[in-house]
Amino acid sequence: MLTTTFYDDFSVSLTPAHPANGITWVWGDGSANSTGNPPEKMFRKPGSYTTTVNVDTTAYGTLSATKAVAVYGDPVALANSTSCALLTDGTVKCWGSDDFGQLGDGSANDGSNSFQPVTVSGLSNVVALSGGYSGISFCALRSNGSVWCWGDNSQGQLGDGTTTNRNQPVQVSGLGSGVLVVSVGQTQACALKSDTTVVCWGKNGWGQLGDGTTTNRLTPVAVSGLSNAVGISLSYINSCALIAGGSVKCWGYNGEGQLGNGTTTHSYTPVTVSGLTGVADIRLFDGGACALKADKSVACWGLNDRGQLGNGSNTNALSPVAVSGLNDVVALSRGCALRATGGVMCWGRGNYGRLGNGSTSDSNVPVAVTGLGGVAALSANGNGACSLLSDGGTRCWGLSYLLGNNSTNDASTPVSVIGGNIFWK
C-alpha cells in the first residue's frame, strides 16, 4: 500500500452558503475522477500531485479548490539486515548484508557486505520497493507495472520459475505489466494487479499464498476468491489484503491470531479480520499485523510477547486492539508510524536500538524516535528502520548492517546514510 490522503485536511467553503448540485474530485495522479465525498483516496504511486475539487453550485456555477498532495510511498525497504532506497532518478541503491545477492549489484554472493550504498544493477524507472520482514530478498515495481526481484530464491520467492539465488534483478514471470503494488514476506511475495486481484509466489507451507494449498509455487498463482483489493502486506508465514471499502482479509498461519478473525485456526484462503472497518493501510510484522484507519488511529492484532501491538500489554490479541496514543498517523510501517508532524513513533522490540529512542529495551507503547523530523517515508523491520526525509536525505537506526553510514556499530538513534540528499523526495 502506498498512501492515503484524508479529506478532513481538504475543505471547501462557500460564502454565502448555497446548496451544491454536485462535487467532482480530480486526483492528479492519472486515476479516474470521483463524485460525491468518499472517505479516503488511495494513490497508486509515489510522487506529488495537485488534487482539485470542483463544486457545482446553484448560484455561482462551478467553484474550484486545489491541494498539493504528497504521496507517502514505499521508496525505502528493509529485509532482515539489508536496506534499499529509491533515488530521484528512478534507480535503486542498497547497503548491508549480501550473502544471497540481496544488494543486487551483481557482486559474488560470498558475504561481501557493504556498509554504504551500492547501485542495484540494470534497474531503472522504479516507483516502489518492498523487502521481506525477516527475509533476504527484495522486489521493485517499475513504472510500466512490471515486477523485478533479487536475492534469496531458495523457495522460489523471486518468481522467475527457478530456485536460483540472483545477485541482479530478474523479472517475475508473467508480471510484465499491470501491477499496482508488490509486497515481500520472508520467503514469499505477492502482487496486487490493476484488476484488483492478487497473485502470490514462493513458499506455501502454511497456505500463505492463499491458493487453497500448501504447495510452493515458483511463479505467481491467484489468491482464491479475492477481488476488490486495494492493498497488500506480507510477513513471515501469513499475508493480508486491504479491500475496497476499508475491510481486511488475511490468510496463512494463525497460531497467535495473525489472521485477526478471533481464532487460532490456520487458513489457506482469505478470511475477514473481525470488527475492522475504515482501514486505509495495512502492515504486517513477524507474528501479527497493524492497520491504519481513516481517522488516523492504528489497530493491531496477533503476537504481543514484546509489545508488538502497542496497547500497553504483552498479551496476544486474536482480533484488533487500538495502539495507545496514536491519533495523527499518516503512514504506517512494521512497528513504526509516521505522524502528521513529520516525526516517527515506534513500539515493540528494542533490540539493536530498533525503537530509535536511545535505548535497546522493548516498549509496549509507542515512543518517539529521537531527533527525527521532516520525514516523508518510512520502512521498519524487526532489527531497525530507515526514513527518507523531505529534503532527500536518509536516516536509519538499529542494526549496523541497515544503517549505510560506513560503520559496523549499531545505532539506537538515527544516523545519516552516506550519499547526501540523493534519494527519492
Residues 224 and 281 in one domain: yes
At residue 127, what are phi and psi to the nearest 5 degrees? -120, -15
- For residue 136, which of 219, 77, 93, 75 has the smallest C-alpha distance? 77
**Listed residues 71, 93, 126: the one ending a domain:** 71
Residues 101 and 193 in one domain: yes
Rounded-to-integer distance, Cα 279 and Cα 159, Å: 29
Rounded-to-integer distance, Cα 378 and Cα 418, Å: 17
Contact between 79 and 149 under an 8 Å Cβ cutoff? The reply is no
Residue 262 lies in a domain: yes
pTM: 0.87
**Listed residues 291, 315, 338: the one ending a domain:** 338
- For residue 23, which of 12, 15, 32 has the smallest C-alpha distance? 12
What integer pLDDT is reported at residue 49 of this predicted model?
65
Which domain does 12 fall in, by range? 3-71
Per residue of the chain (425 residues), give pLDDT as tens: 334 444 444 555 544 555 566 778 787 766 677 777 654 555 544 455 677 877 776 666 777 777 665 544 478 999 999 999 988 888 999 999 999 999 999 987 666 899 999 999 999 988 889 998 777 999 999 988 899 999 999 999 999 999 999 999 999 999 999 888 899 999 999 999 989 899 999 999 999 999 999 999 999 999 999 999 988 999 989 999 999 888 999 999 999 999 999 999 999 999 999 999 988 889 999 899 999 998 889 999 999 999 999 999 999 999 999 999 999 988 899 999 999 888 999 999 999 999 999 999 999 999 999 999 988 888 999 999 999 888 888 999 999 999 999 999 999 999 999 987 766 65
CATH of the domain at 39: 2.60.40.10
Residues 87 and 186 in one domain: yes
Residues 47 and 88 in one domain: no
Residue with cell 457545482: 56
Collapsed DSSP state (helix, strand, coil) of residue 400: helix
Residues 204 and 148 in one domain: yes
Residues 49 and 170 in one domain: no
Residues 327 and 265 in one domain: yes
Residues 85 and 205 in one domain: yes
Answer positive or negative: Cα dihedral of 286, 288, 293, 295. Answer: negative
Residue 417 lies in a domain: no
What integer pLDDT is reported at residue 295 of this predicted model?
87
Residue 165 lies in a domain: yes
Residue 141 lies in a domain: yes
Residues 267 and 286 in one domain: yes
Rounded-to-integer distance, Cα 180 and Cα 171, Å: 15
Helix, strand, coil shares of the chain, percent, nearest 5, are 0, 45, 50
**How are beta strands 126-131 and 336-339 bridged, if at all?**
unpaired
Residue 362 lies in a domain: no
Residue 352 lies in a domain: no
**Listed residues 278, 310, 338: the one ending a domain:** 338
CATH of the domain at 180: 2.130.10.30
Number of folded domains that form the chain:
2
Residues 22 and 129 in one domain: no
Q: Can you point out the beta strands (E) in 303-361? A: 317-322, 329-332, 336-339, 344-348
Collapsed DSSP state (helix, strand, coil) of residue 7: helix
Residues 54 and 140 in one domain: no
Residue 128 lies in a domain: yes
Residue 290 lies in a domain: yes
Residues 31 and 138 in one domain: no
Q: Is the peptide bond before 46 cis (omega within 30 degrees of 0)?
A: no
